[in-house]
Structure 1
Amino acid sequence: MQALTQWLDRGFRVLLVGLMAGMVTAVCWQVISRYALNDPAAWTEEMARFLLMWIGLLGACYAYREGQHLGV
């Protein structure tokens, strides 16, 4: 059972890192397209907002699982 829990925790960390990387990529593209190309992409703001909500919810669950305090 402990091996399964460790495997799930590792997968959860990878998921959170992937979501965070996706949000950073979307925000960077938003900045580049707005200021360098003068044509802001409409989907990046919505995607960043969506990913931020999921990162907050899943990150709070992960912090609780690890016994950490989520400081905001």
Structure 2
Amino acid sequence: MDAYLKFIDRINSVVKYVVSVLFIALVVLVFMQVVTRFVINFPLAWSEEISRYIMIYIVFLGSALAVRKNEHIAIDFLLEVVNAKNKKRLNIVILLISAFFFAMLTYVSFQLTFLVTGQSTPTLQFSMAWAYASMPVGSLLMFLNGMAVLIETRKQRTDEVEGEAQ
């Protein structure tokens, strides 16, 4: 289990780097779009399209990183009203439901990506599959990170039970 967690953390460090590079590219492209549109009065049609797809990749990849750190927005009313013992159980149930959702999202988004391979983007005329590929990649990473969080949660719960037994 520790090897899996280390593997996921290595993947996440690469994903962080990719997200950072994509964010820098997004800032540069949007800046170029503003300058060419309002200063030079000769807009770059392709920069808006690429910026849109880069933003989608940033969202899906960043969501995967947020899953690993439990930083997604959540309604935690139930977690606040249950006792500590049941809180951990409820948290595990929530993680299992999330992992199931991420697995289903991965499956459906792979199908959708293959479905749009024949379509082209409006301006650049490359396959829409490249734009849609952010969904299966991001949701697969969300699933893997969700499993890592589940493993850590189970590991902490096991350590606490062993600590109480001693």
Is the TM value for this pair above 0.5? yes
Does residue 30 of structure 2 align to residue 24 of structure 1? no
Q: Tell me if structure 2 keeps the 8 A contact 1:63–1:70.
A: no
Please identify the structure whose Cα radius of gyration is greater.
Answer: 2
2:12 alignment partner, one of 6, 9, 14? 9
Aligned to 2:67: 64
SS of equivalent to 2:32: helix
Q: 1:20 to 1:70 in 2, by over 3 A?
A: farther
Across the two proteins, how many residue pairs are aligned to each other? 71
CA-CA distance at 1:68 after TM superposition:
1.1
| Runs of 4+ in structure 1 over 6 Å off | none
Does residue 51 of structure 2 align to residue 51 of structure 1? no
- Cα RMSD of the aligned pairs, angstroms, is 1.7
SS of equivalent to 1:50: helix
CA-CA distance at 1:3 after TM superposition:
4.1
What is the CA–CA distance in structure 1 between the aligned matches of 2:73 and 2:19, rounded to whole Å?
Answer: 15
Name which of structure 1's ranges 2-11 and 48-57 shifts more when overlaid on structure 2: 2-11
Q: Specify every segment of 5 or more residues in structure 1 that has no aligned partner in the other structure, as ranges.
A: none
Q: Specify every segment of 5 or more residues in structure 2 that has no aligned partner in the other structure, as ranges.
A: 75-166
Q: Tell me if structure 2 keeps the 8 A contact 1:60–1:70.
A: no
What is the CA–CA distance in structure 2 between the aligned matches of 1:35 and 1:48, rounded to whole Å?
Answer: 17
What is the CA–CA distance in structure 1 between the aligned matches of 2:24 and 2:73, rounded to whole Å?
Answer: 20
Aligned to 1:39: 42
Q: 1:70 to 1:57 in 2, by over 3 A?
A: farther
CA-CA distance at 1:35 after TM superposition:
1.2
Determine what percentage of the aligned residue pairs are the same residue: 27
